Amino acid sequence: MRFTVLIRRLIFAACFAGGLGWAGSTEVVAAEAKAAAARESAQKSAGSDLQKLVDQASAQREKMIADHDALARQLKQATDEQRKEILAQMHVQKKAFEAAQSALHKQIRDEQRRLRQNIGKR
């Protein structure tokens, strides 16, 4: 008789533990889904930050091209003295553009590195 009581208690304990395990796993799944949603929204915002940097680099590039074209048109009709000034101005603009692009590209690389690190943490 004691053996059957022991078996019943073990079966009850197993069923009870299995039920808690099921309920606990549901909570874990819900928590994981919530965390995944948070990571996804963070990744989208980070992706949009990266896109903003790329757009900013493109805008700077387009402005540089337009400024260079304007100076090139002036250069065609310039005298020798004006040519020297225009060429010097073109050189200064080119150096400023290269510095700005270098800084933007560094920001883009840093953002990409941060995104890769966040993806690795999943």
- pLDDT at res. 37: 62
Alpha carbon 109 to chain centroid, angstroms? 10
SS3 label, residue 22: helix
Each residue's pLDDT tens digit, 13-26: 776 665 554 444 56
**Highest mean pLDDT, choosing among 4-13, 20-29, 94-103:** 94-103
Q: Which two tokens stand for residue 30?
A: 């819900």
Each residue's pLDDT tens digit, 41-96: 655 665 788 899 899 989 999 999 999 999 999 999 999 999 999 999 999 999 99
What is the DSSP code string of 53-73?
Answer: HHHHHHHHHHHHHHHHHHHHH
What average pLDDT does range 92-113 have in this prediction?
92
Q: Which two tokens stand for residue 51?
A: 């896109």
> CA–CA separation, 71 vs 17, rounded Å?
80
